[in-house]
Amino acid sequence: MMSVRILFTMAALSLAALAARADSFMAGADLSLLAYFETNGVVYQTGGQAGDAVNILKHQGINCVRLRLFSSSAAQAKADPYDYVNNLSYTVPLAVRVKKAGLKFMLDFHYSDTWADPGHQTVPSAWTNLTFVQLVQQMHDYSSNCIAAFQTAGAMPDYVQVGNEITSGILWPSGKVGGSYDTPAQWSQLAQLLNAAIRGIQEAAGAQPPKLIIHIASGGDWSTTQWFFDNLIQSQHVQFDCIGESYYPFFHGSLGDLNLCLSNAAVRYGKPLIVAETAFPWTNSVFATNLDGLPGTTNGQAQYVVALAETVRSTPNNLSAGVFWWGAEYQPLAGAPEAGYNTTSFFDAKGNVLPAAAVLGQMGAPVLLSVRNGPASLLLQWPLSGADMSLLTTTSLAPASVWLTATQNIQITNAVFSTTVQNDARSSRFYRLQAN
């Protein structure tokens, strides 16, 4: 029988980068309304058994949970829970639950009483009479106080978004940019607001501050991404750690568009890139089907995650840092204006976890090449986290050895790449995975 040696190498990466790739990629889920759905009687299941949705997704490989934070009052949350419930008193206990489950936690500041996005960045009602100077101070104090509350509860965030989908800025009109607001003065004001929040977060966090993310909604739009971050980074010199992009295939173009955006951003800015929001339908009842040639079905949803993994993991310079599934906990609920996102969640209409959750979980798995012996062949396998890697082979480990791309047909099943090689008693053969 052929002697087979399995090696794991990645060209041109340091040991630190290897460790980061294996352990730090965020296979994430946004579960911001989980407690809201549970309070309204929603039950989450796996294998027909009811369970805690956080632990269900953890067992699928999800390693980080994203929770949004509104500045809403108790009265606002009581009057309209769906649109206002995600305030500090609601979010801290949910964050504690996430951390107790052993998962990482991403906090998503909206800096608004309700949803903030490219079309809505409304100043919190309690801040409306503040001058700009006072708004800057309020951004610092509010951010600091919130982080202190999570830290006191034992739920310190690992990552913090300083605003949500802020393509057009925050706290309109003071921090608005774009259109008639695309002026140096407006960019300066946006930078002052963001810098104040960043200082507050870092001061409250102490010696081990969370990684800071600036998140926009242009994952399929490189020109807008370049416009925004050229202004923020190169002109205003705002200091942060990661770039976040929303990418929904039914809103933001093709996966090819996403690939172009992520690749160009990686080369231009040199920062880790996160797909901070994405989703795909498991049924075609609301959103368009055949997105990137994939149907709106349970299997199509899982196939989308595979295609997304291949796109994201190919980001240059090992700068792909994570993917987050938005509305992973959504369920049909009477009276909740869900905009169809109950059809893109990680749970079907009866609360059963869907295969796409486990596929996304494999994006964060350690990249290990394994072998299974058979009577006449060998099965080589590696997880979806190695989506951008090539299988190479050689018959010698001498310094001048030539490594060639393995020509066997590579397939993917259940988020695992696999290929079969024939036994050959006449020689030894070595295999390795290498980053493209």
For residue 287, what is the domain's CATH number? 3.20.20.80
Bridge-partner residues for 46, per DSSP? 49
pTM here is 0.93
The whole domain housing 379 covers 3-8+367-435
* Percent of the chain at pLDDT exceeding 90: 78
173: preceding bond cis by omega (within 30 degrees): yes
Sequence-separated (6 or more) residues with CB below 8 Å from residue 3: 427, 428, 429
Instruction: For residues 358 and 382, state if they share a domain.
Output: no
Cβ count within 10 A of residue 129: 8
Catalytic site positions: 165, 277
Least confidently predicted of 38-42, 146-150, 288-292: 288-292
Residue 19 lies in a domain: no
pLDDT tens track for 311-364: 999 999 999 999 999 999 999 999 999 999 999 999 999 999 999 999 999 999
Q: Which of 364, 395, 412 is the last residue of a domain?
A: 364
Gap between the Cα atoms of 188 and 204, Å rounded:
24
DSSP for residue 269:
H
Same domain for 310 and 389? no
Residue 10 has pLDDT above 60, yes or no: no
Residue 243, domain member (yes or no): yes
Of all residues in the chain, the percent with pLDDT exceeding 70 is 94
The 10s digit of each residue's pLDDT in 77-113 is 999 999 999 999 999 999 999 999 999 999 999 999 9
Instruction: Examine the domain organization and report whether 188 and 45 are in the same domain.
Output: yes
Residue 401 in domain: yes
Looking at 347, 364, 381, which one is the last position of a domain? 364
What is 280-345 written as a DSSP string?
--SSTTSS-S-BTTB-SSHHHHHHHHHHHHHHHTT-GGG-EEEEEETTTT----TT---TTGGGSS
pLDDT of residue 250: 93
99 and 219 both lie in a single domain = yes
Which DSSP string corresponds to 200-213?
A: HHHHHHTTSPPEEE
Query: Which range among 143-152, 210-219, 290-299 shows the weakest confidence by mean pLDDT?
Result: 290-299
Query: Token pair of 81, please?
Result: 């829970």
Average pLDDT over residues 245-250: 96
Same domain, 110 and 230: yes
Asked if residue 410 and residue 324 are part of one domain, the reply reads no
User: How many domains, in total, are found in the chain?
Assistant: 2
Query: Is the residue at 203 inside a domain?
Result: yes
Summarize pLDDT for 228-246 with one digit per residue, the tens: 999 999 999 999 999 999 9
Which of 364, 392, 417 is where one domain is finished?
A: 364
Mean pLDDT across the chain, nearest whole number?
92
Question: Rg of the Cα trace of the chain?
Answer: 23
pLDDT of residue 304: 96
The domain that contains 393 carries what CATH number?
2.60.40
| Same structural domain, 414 and 287 | no
pLDDT of residue 424: 65
**Quick one: how far is CA 196 from the chain centroid?**
25
Length reported for the chain: 436
